[in-house]
Amino acid sequence: MSDLPSGSFTPPPPPMAPPPPGGGDIVYPSTPAKEPILILVLNILLGGVGYIVMGQMQKGIAALVGWLLGFVLCGIPSVIIALVAAIDGFLQAQQLQQGHPVGQWTFFSTHK
């Protein structure tokens, strides 16, 4: 007689990956992955909408509010926010496209 119960064996799930830098909620890669160029274009034209599309809602709302305030005040802050958001959004979308999760507030980080 055997002490093992009959039936199939299900192995335990793999260990969770450590959270990405940046803290907050984690944004996991989606299927299909968002195109980094699309995120770049949305962020450069609309402030932080690319972040929202990608799943970084909090950062997207903050960038969009900052972009709108900069636009109302004099325009130059909006250009700076849009450029920084475009580059950062592109890099974050690349990380997601490669299968790496990112945090809500991760900026310019690489996952190696």
Identify the domain containing residue 47 by its residue range: 39-103
Rounded-to-integer distance, Cα 85 and Cα 44, Å: 7
Q: Say whether pTM exceeds 0.95.
A: no
Whether 6 maps to a domain, the answer reads no
Give the pLDDT confidence of 36-49 residue by residue, as tens digits.
999 999 999 988 99
How many distinct structural domains can be found in the chain? Answer: 1
Say what the pLDDT of residue 59 is: 92
Find where tokens 């929202």 sit: 52
Half-sphere exposure of residue 18: CA atoms within 13 angstroms, side-chain side: 5
Whether 22 maps to a domain, the answer reads no
- Would you call the peptide bond into 101 cis, given omega within 30 degrees of 0 as the criterion? no
Whether 109 maps to a domain, the answer reads no
Say what the pLDDT of residue 21 is: 54
Whether 65 maps to a domain, the answer reads yes
Whether 91 maps to a domain, the answer reads yes
